[in-house]
Structure formats: structure tokens, C-alpha cells
């Protein structure tokens, strides 16, 4: 069974005004003092902006283990924020926001200088899913064979309709902001680990990315861990949605690895087409048609989500996650993703701070941590 884990970037906000607060450094100090054993559970890490905090789960073997990590990680971050009069919310963009200078470590400060307004406005929160692989060759085989399904995961995560105080009309506006980075987005088929490394070498040779950490592909080989890292999705407002996407991502990696082992050819979809598919997912989420990877044309979102579930069905069954994934996707399609919940909160009184307040409540609505109605098979 492949292990998997997640990184959730969370917004630090004033619970009343809704404004982002630059408290990450202080939160890390509080968490360090409170944590007796740093290896005993999820951990906190600073990110590009001091107004956000990253929660890292440990590698997990089962969905039940990961569910516990997601709930505990969000609670850990919120406890540290609460000591400072703040809260954390799983918002992929802040509804109330103005561009801020980048503080923190030296690398981030250098990036802030080098990339100008892109860096100053880069307060977005993503959801990164790591899935273990046996070798770099297998990892590249996976990247080449799952690339055309990634826009579906983006649509199922869409959680960023507001930017600079206005409704953007997009369901995942974070995607538009993120794709201003020069290395972000989908990539061509690589073919081999050697070819993957050659592409990275050429990109770094341009002098634009500062280092390999700035290779922001929709999915990539992790630098420090033997994993494939899926980076395309918004952070999920509802914790159950994060679990649903994580188990689907693991199944997609396993399905793609099995196809690579059988010698099946990689995705033939052109990268330019994938950019269009990403744009549709960013603009409409699950509320309109999505690009169907198998049919290569738009279909209703429910049909495309169902096609993904069928594509990864065997891997979900093997992991014991089929029922969980089906229920999770059905729930997302019924109530909507985080973008819908945010817009509903705004329409009640037309106040953006209400969006943040509602998001804080949804972020920490864990239900029964041992089941949450999701983990029974």
C-alpha cells in the first residue's frame, strides 16, 4: 500500500475583521513550546507569507490515519493562532486583502524582491498531496499518465472566488494568481527520469527560477521525499473534502503506475489543451461543464467526476477507499465546493468578514474524528 500525506496551507486571519494577520513566526514559537514530541503528529511550517501557515501531516497508510492527521493539524494551527487573538481558515485566497511585502526566511525575501508584484500579491493557499513511489522512473511514468486527470481534481477543490475584496467570477481564482509564476501549470510528457532532470536543468539555466524549489508544475517529483507531489488543488474548506481528494490522488498515482508497468503509452493530450482544461476548472469549478480527459471535449461536471472514479476504481477498491471516495464526491457535487459556501455566506449580509467567519467554522467542523461518516466501508 502506498503511503500518502498532505500539506495544507491555511490563512491566518482576524476572526472579526477578516483581515490576514502576519503571525506565522509567533505561531511557530507557540507550537514549538507546546509540542512535547514533534514526531507525534502533524507539524507546522512557515510559508511564503507570514499571513499563512502550512500544516504537514505524517505519512499515512490508511484514510483513517490521514483523517486524524488532517483534523489534528488544523486544530494545532488554530490553537496557536487563538493564543494570539487570531484564527486559521482554509481559504485559498483571502476575501479581505491588500498586497503585502514578503517576510520570513532569506530565500523568501529574495524571491519577494526578484518577482515584484507577483510576490507581493502571492497570498494564496494550496493543498499538496504526496504519494509514495518506488523510483524516479516510476514517478515520471506516473506524471506522464495522470496529467490529463489533474484538472478534475482542481475543479473538485475550487475554493477561491474572492480576490482584493471582489467576487472574481472564478471558482478557483487562486489558479489564476498562482499561474503568474513562470514555472507553474501543466507540463509536456517527459518520458524518463533523465528527461525530467534535463528539463529542470534547462529551466534553472534560464536564470528565472531561483532554485529547484521554484519548479511549480501541477505535479512534480518531491525534492526531499520519495513521492509524487500533486500541487494543482486549492486548499479545501471542508476537511472531509481534503480527505476525499487525497484518497483519489493516491488511487490516481497507483492507477498511473500500474499503466506504466504494463507499458501503456502516456497521455497524448497537448499541454496547451491542458491549460484550457485547467482554465475551465478554475473558472467554473463543478458548476458548469469540465473538459473530459477520455472523451477530449466538455461534459457535465458530474459525468467527468464519475469518469475519474471509474478510472481509479480498482486502486480505490484495493485501498479500501471506494465507498469513501464515492460518498465524498457525491457530497461535493451536492453541496458544492468551498467557493459556493463562501458565496452563500457573503450573500446573507454582503459583508466579506462574514465569509471569513463562516470559513473558520467550516475549517474546524470535524465531526467524529474516528469516522465522520466517511471511513466505514
Return the CATH number at 207: 3.30.590.20
The total domain count for the chain is 1
pLDDT on residue 107: 82
Q: What pTM was estimated for this model as a whole?
A: 0.95
Is 136 contained in some domain?
Answer: yes
3-state secondary structure of 68: helix
Q: Which domain holds residue 205?
A: 4-363
DSSP state string for 78-92: HHHHHTTT-EEE--S
Please indicate whether residue 274 or residue 213 has the higher confidence score (pLDDT): 274
Residues 157-179 as b or e (16 or more Cβ within 10 Å = b) = bbbbbbbeeeebebbbbbbbbbb
Are the C-beta atoms of 181 and 360 separated by less than 8 Å?
A: no
Is 250 contained in some domain?
Answer: yes
- Rounded CA gap, 148 and 14, in Å? 39
DSSP state of 321: -
pLDDT on residue 366: 86
Summarize the confidence of residues 109-127 as an average pLDDT.
89
3-state secondary structure of 128: strand
Q: In the chain, what percentage of residues exceed pLDDT 90?
A: 85
Residue 281 has pLDDT above 80, yes or no: yes
3-state secondary structure of 198: helix
Is 251 contained in some domain?
Answer: yes
* pLDDT tens digits along 324-367: 999 999 999 999 999 999 999 999 999 999 999 999 999 999 87
- Rounded CA gap, 359 and 237, in Å? 7
C-alpha distance across the termini of the chain, in Å = 17
Residue 372 has pLDDT above 50, yes or no: no
- Rounded CA gap, 91 and 77, in Å? 14
Residue 373 has pLDDT above 80, yes or no: no
Is 375 contained in some domain?
Answer: no
Is 377 contained in some domain?
Answer: no
Is 137 contained in some domain?
Answer: yes
C-alpha separations of 320 from 67, 205, 325 in Å: 14, 44, 10
Ranges of beta strands (E only) in 28-175 are: 43-46, 52-56, 87-89, 126-132, 162-163, 166-167
Summarize the confidence of residues 285-312 as an average pLDDT.
97
* pLDDT tens digits along 91-100: 999 999 877 7
- Rounded CA gap, 50 and 305, in Å? 35
Is 291 contained in some domain?
Answer: yes
Summarize the confidence of residues 258-270 as an average pLDDT.
97
114-119 contacts at long range (C-beta below 8 A, 24 or more positions apart): 114/210, 115/181, 118/180, 118/181, 119/48
Q: Which helix (H) or strand (E) holds 342?
A: helix 338-349
Is 46 contained in some domain?
Answer: yes
Q: Is 225 left (phi over 0), alpha (psi -120 to 50) or beta?
A: beta
Amino acid at each position: 500500500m502506498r503511503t500518502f500525506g498532505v500539506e495544507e496551507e491555511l490563512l491566518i486571519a482576524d476572526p472579526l475583521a477578516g483581515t490576514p494577520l502576519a503571525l506565522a513566526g509567533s505561531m511557530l514559537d507557540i507550537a514549538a513550546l507546546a509540542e512535547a514530541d514533534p514526531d507525534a503528529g502533524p507539524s507546522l511550517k512557515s510559508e511564503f507569507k507570514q499571513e499563512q501557515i502550512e500544516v504537514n501531516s505524517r505519512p499515512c497508510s490508511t484514510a483513517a490515519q490521514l483523517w486524524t492527521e488532517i483534523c489534528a493539524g488544523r486544530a494545532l494551527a488554530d490553537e496557536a493562532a487563538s493564543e494570539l487573538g487570531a484564527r486559521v481558515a482554509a481559504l485559498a485566497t483571502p476575501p479581505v486583502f491588500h498586497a503585502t511585502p514578503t517576510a520570513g526566511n532569506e530565500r523568501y525575501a529574495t524571491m519577494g524582491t526578484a518577482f515584484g508584484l507577483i510576490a507581493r500579491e502571492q497570498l494564496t493557499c494550496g493543498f499538496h498531496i504526496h504519494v509514495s513511489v518506488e523510483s524516479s522512473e516510476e514517478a515520471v511514468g506516473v506524471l506522464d499518465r495522470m496529467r490529463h486527470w489533474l484538472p478534475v481534481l482542481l475543479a473538485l477543490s475550487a475554493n477561491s472566488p474572492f480576490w482584493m475584496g471582489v467576487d472574481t467570477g472564478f471558482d478557483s481564482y487562486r489558479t489564476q494568481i498562482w499561474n503568474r509564476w513562470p514555472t507553474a501549470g501543466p507540463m509536456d510528457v517527459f518520458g524518463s527520469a533523465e528527461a525530467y532532470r534535463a528539463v529542470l536543468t534547462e529551466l534553472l539555466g534560464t536564470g528565472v527560477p531561483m532554485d529547484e524549489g521554484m519548479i511549480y508544475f501541477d505535479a512534480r517529483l518531491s525534492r526531499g521525499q520519495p513521492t509524487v507531489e500533486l500541487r494543482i488543488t486549492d486548499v479545501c474548506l471542508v476537511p472531509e473534502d481534503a480527505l476525499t481528494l487525497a484518497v483519489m490522488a493516491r488511487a490516481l498515482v497507483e492507477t498511473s503506475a500500474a499503466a506504466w508497468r504494463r507499458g501503456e503509452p502516456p497521455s497524448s493530450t497537448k499541454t496547451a489543451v491542458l491549460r484550457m482544461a485547467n482554465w475551465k476548472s478554475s473558472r467554473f469549478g463543478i458548476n458548469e461543464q469540465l473538459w473530459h480527459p477520455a472523451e477530449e471535449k466538455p461534459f457535465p461536471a458530474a459525468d467527468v467526476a464519475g469518469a475519474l472514479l471509474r478510472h481509479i476504481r480498482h486502486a480505490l477498491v484495493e485501498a479500501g477507499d471506494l465507498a469513501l471516495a464515492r460518498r465524498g464526491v457525491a457530497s461535493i457535487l451536492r453541496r458544492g465546493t468551498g467557493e459556493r459556501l463562501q458565496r452563500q455566506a457573503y450573500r446573507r449580509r454582503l459583508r466579506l468578514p462574514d465569509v471569513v467567519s463562516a470559513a473558520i467554522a467550516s475549517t474546524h467542523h470535524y465531526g467524529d474524528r474516528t469516522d465522520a461518516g466517511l471511513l466505514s466501508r
